[in-house]
Structure 1
């Protein structure tokens, strides 16, 4: 028979209600692992027999992070038990349970509102802060991400991971100076802070500090141990971006083979990381051999997911680049799903994802006019599908490539304007310089200095 609930606190000092006090270790692993991007967050599943509502809600959230069509069905039994016992928990626990339940039900607006309330009422609930940031990120809401972190900061400035969260919020709002300061503060407090490494890598990429960014990420890569697969593969993904731009093509491919693809190849984020990196290789003129085929074998399981438009678009492009007929199936299913998407996300699916999907499929099959038309419609509102600036840059690169390959004076003129601005901001980039030289040759103009 379970013991009576006892007042306990997690590693951040938040009161927790547990039927089995021994479950506190698993809860702390979830809390500490989640905010530190460490794989130990999954240890909460070892306490799944504990019917404590908080434990059940944490297990539900973990299943949702699969970001697949199985996520919500697998999470529902856990959230049902959490809601059934929610009255036994604290107000903080009840709000967290409600936020996870809203996520499972597809009510992301409701979930974000609850996380914002939690940041005000219980600012040391950093799991709630980070989860709220995750939802804002998937909506392209950088200000929302930053607002959540800043609400908690006066009360949890002793936690390095919160400074990392603030850094990425600043970066997504284009506040580069503040982002760098927050990231460096986090790293000074804890050298192993991969989210802060990630945020600072974003800053250096955006500011064109390519050699510095590569050197920085390499210098902290020895700390990328025990992380969840997304965090470790994504930070190496950023290393590969610097290598591509600096012209270190063989090394970039080696990073892909060793650090990006194959860590957890069945995981959605690892799959889109592989797709987006392979696409960037090809756009930079790097031969990827048969690598598309291996990734596509995993992507054929994603035809009915429709969890996030940002994910579906990359599944589609990966299938198309591999020459798989399933790309057409996925396009048809995206078109059918978009009008039925949850209300808060429907516009992004209909107005952004559908035209972008047509444009990506056209590009993958050599139809540059179709690529320009589809992506041209989507790009002005692309932020609505979520992802970071660096991640969404893939779609802009594909559109730019289509303009160049179309080769008319009009499309080359449009490409010149875009590329020259990019070269001005990233003068170290050999990739951009090669592309711009090609454009100037097509326009019968001398190359810029």
Structure 2
């Protein structure tokens, strides 16, 4: 894939806007930065002349770029080589490997989330796990590119992962057989009681159209009119801003979906309902949106819009809290700058930065035997080094977890398994919809 084509596609899958890096833009650098550039060049010269071993220019320049961006927020980055290849892989949605989304955190490879149904998911790898060894070889302190390259490989081949799970005393060794990973953005089913369930795993191209098609299939498969709809956005890290708007628009008849505000001209934009789809495609059908700490960015846009318009009941756990937009600025033919250029706000004017979307009903995933440990060591946007501060201010209580025991959520994972419940949050949402009528909270009139 040519780099230009990659950049065009990236606007669809990474919630970014393409902005040309023009000479005029470069000329706007503050003249007072001259002495600081002189310091940078002086350090470069000293290192070249005096470091104990010879250092290539490109190594020093890349280090300076990475250091500059590290002084910003955790979502701004310089992309080339392996980074751009991973972006291309995400666009293609088809590769051989384990099916993991990972990041580098303080020198360690951390699992953001396993893709649903992937070899990693089937092997029991969870969000928040740290991978310390691959086939017995320590990878701590190495590069993310090298770790990802080792985890990928031909379908059918196996690799041993050493996993450290926060809260456990001993590491685990897990054998995982690589498979062909075909990312499926949207899946659907009809559950007992004529409850439709639509799961959106990522916001890649055409997700809005795919959800529309999924609802049409649910209507055909349901024995009569669907009695409710669960939109599952758990562990969805986000993606295209346009697709999040398209998805929210499917369920709204009027009003604001999201607003985007930035410093640069053209970075302040308003997105309203009925620009993509006219009317509410599931009008009159009670709806619940499931979110958790892995629901970020585009997922939070959809949840925030449907919550503010009171179209859906938001259920689950507080979301990740990423309320910023990244733009992809091309730097030549084979590199780009992913830069945070704007913040986004829900229809009610709330920024989800740091605080995330708070569910209307908090439902813990008690069917997960490691839920308590994962909650204790859960990572959200507010935990990331250098994250943007919510400029509207956020009260401490909005960041706190309710520690009061809820009598509804006292069963253990084993007790739920004996009852045939493998996913308690989804089970609870469907049970709620089965008891829901038009007068209840899951279908509420929009605010005036």
What TM-score do the two structures reach when normalised by structure 2? Answer: 0.24
What is the TM-score with the length of structure 1 in the denominator? 0.24
- Structure with the higher helix share, 1 or 2: 1
Higher strand share: 2
Q: Which has the higher contact order (CA 8 A, sep 6+)?
A: 2
